Structure 1
Amino acid sequence: MAGGVGAQIVGRHIYGNLYGCEQQILKDEAALITIVKEAAKVANAILLSIGSYRFGPEGGLTVFAVVAESHISIHTWPEHGFATVDVYTCGDHTDPKAAFDYIVSKLKPRKVEAFFGDRSMYRE
């Protein structure tokens, strides 16, 4: 991800849709929290806080980490084997793609759609 080269403020955003994930991992709150914590380390981001919310007893989960550099989130729909992942970091010392790839490796989807955004500020 080349975003940020020559930028005054570096912001890189990778987000995507994960299809065909195993339902069990998408329901496992403790596992998803661990995955997000590890993803913050992989990104070289500073974890400030982490939270989660379950949508009903068998429903999906949202796991959200606030990192000093921005955020990491996973939203799951176990009944569809579907998850969305969002990793946004500021600073050229972070690697949001590495965090995204780490999460993908743990959720093991059959198909991934990934999108990149350069959210840097350049001098005019």
Structure 2
Amino acid sequence: MAGGVGGRVVVGRHVYGNLYGCDARVLGDEAALITIVKEAVRVANAMLLSIGSYRFGPNGGLTVFAVVAESHISIHTWPEHGFATVDVYTCGDHTDPKAAFDFIVEKLSPKKIEVFYGDRSMYSE
């Protein structure tokens, strides 16, 4: 229950969104996106466990994801449409998923953004 009766027992914050009008060259640059995600992990104050990527065909989009001790950060791209989705979910008071999301947005320079927030915490009764 958001804003529950008691305090938060488990802190979970989810920031995700859609980015329109991004530079197709950046969205198709696997090395650049990996660097952006690694830096976003640092900005979030999370601990990187692993990072991976997958390209959908020779000229297709990319998925770049970081598994962090606190959860995950991912970017999914469609360069042909200048479109990307970004997902940052972290647990713990020490992390800042919004800062990581904002960092990624800054690097992808979209013309339009839709951002969503989810409280995935557990509250005491």
TM-score normalized with structure 2 length: 0.95
- Paired AA for residue 53 in structure 2: S
- Paired AA for residue 26 in structure 1: L
Q: CA deviation at 1:6?
A: 2.8
Q: CA deviation at 1:115?
A: 0.1
Give 1 or 2 for the bigger CA radius of gyration. Answer: 2
Cα distance between partner residues in 2 of 1:114 and 1:92: 21
2:55 aligned with 1:57: no
Structure-to-structure mapping, 1:64-103, within 5 angstroms: 64-103=65-104
2:9 aligned with 1:18: no
Cα distance between partner residues in 2 of 1:26 and 1:67: 22
Q: CA deviation at 1:34?
A: 0.2
Q: Secondary structure at the match of 2:35?
A: helix
Percent identity over paired residues: 82
Cα distance between partner residues in 1 of 2:87 and 2:11: 17
* Structure 1 residue ranges (4+ consecutive) displaced by more than 2 angstroms after TM superposition: 3-6
Instruction: State how many pairs are aligned.
Output: 122
Deviations 1:13-33 (A, max 9, x none): 000000000000000000000
2:124 aligned with 1:123: yes
Q: What residue ranges of structure 1 are gaps of 5+ in the alignment?
A: none
Equivalent residue for 2:112?
111
CA RMSD of aligned residues (A): 1.4
Equivalent residue for 1:45?
46
Cα distance between partner residues in 1 of 2:91 and 2:24: 32
